[in-house]
Chains A and B, each alone.
Chain A
Amino acid sequence: MPSIMEKGRMVKALELTDLCLFTEARYTRHITQADLNTPFQDHPMSLEHFPSGSFIMPPENIFRAYVPQQARK
Chain B
Amino acid sequence: MGPWIEKQRNILDFTLASLLRRKGKNAALLLVYTFIVFVLASVMFFTHSIKKEAGLVLQGSPDIIVQRTVAGRHDLIPASYLGPLTKIRGVASGRIRLWGYYFDPITGANYTLLVPEDFSAGAGAAIVGSGISKSRLASEGDVIVLRAHNGESLVLTIKGVLSEKSELISADLVLISEPDFRKLFGISKGHGTDIVLTVRNKKELSTIALKITEALPDARPIIRDEILRTYESVFNWRGGIITVLLAGAVFAFIIFAWDKATGLSAEERKEIGILKAVGWETSDVLLMKFWEGAALSLSAFLTGTALAYLHVFFASSPLFGPALKGWSVLYPEFRLTPFIDPVQIATLFFLTVVPYTTATIVPSWRAATVDPDSVMR
Contacts and interface: CB of A to CB of B under 8 A. Distances in A.
Interface of A: 1, 3-4, 6-26, 28-33, 35-37, 50-57, 59-60, 68-70
B332 A21 contact: yes
B360 to A, nearest CB: 36
B241 A17 contact: no
B: interface residue count bin: 35 or more
B60 A12 contact: yes
Given A20-B332, A21-B324, 11 more contacts: A6-B163, A6-B166, A8-B60, A15-B196, A20-B112, A20-B129, A20-B173, A32-B227, A32-B230, A54-B323, A56-B240
Interface string B225-251: 011011101111001111000000000
B143 interface: no
Nearest to A1: B337
A44 B173 CA distance: 31
A6 to B, nearest CB: 6
Nearest to B109: A23
Contact of A17 (B61, B69, B329, B331): B61
Contacts of A68: 213
Contact of B234 (A24, A33, A37, A57): A57
Contacts of A19: 50, 53-54, 57-58, 168-169, 231
Contact of B114 (A14, A21, A22): A14
Nearest to B112: A29
A20 B230 CA distance: 14
B210 interface: yes
Contacts of B262: none
A24 B241 CA distance: 18
Contact of A33 (B56, B65, B166, B170): B65
B165 A6 contact: yes
Nearest to B240: A55
A55 B229 contact: no
A17 B227 CA distance: 7
11 contacts: A3-B337, A14-B114, A14-B173, A18-B58, A19-B57, A20-B129, A29-B110, A32-B227, A32-B230, A37-B72, A56-B240
A21 B172 CA distance: 10
B330 interface: yes
Interface in B164-211: 165-173, 175, 194, 196, 210
A4 B323 contact: no
A50 B326 contact: yes
A14 B61 CA distance: 9
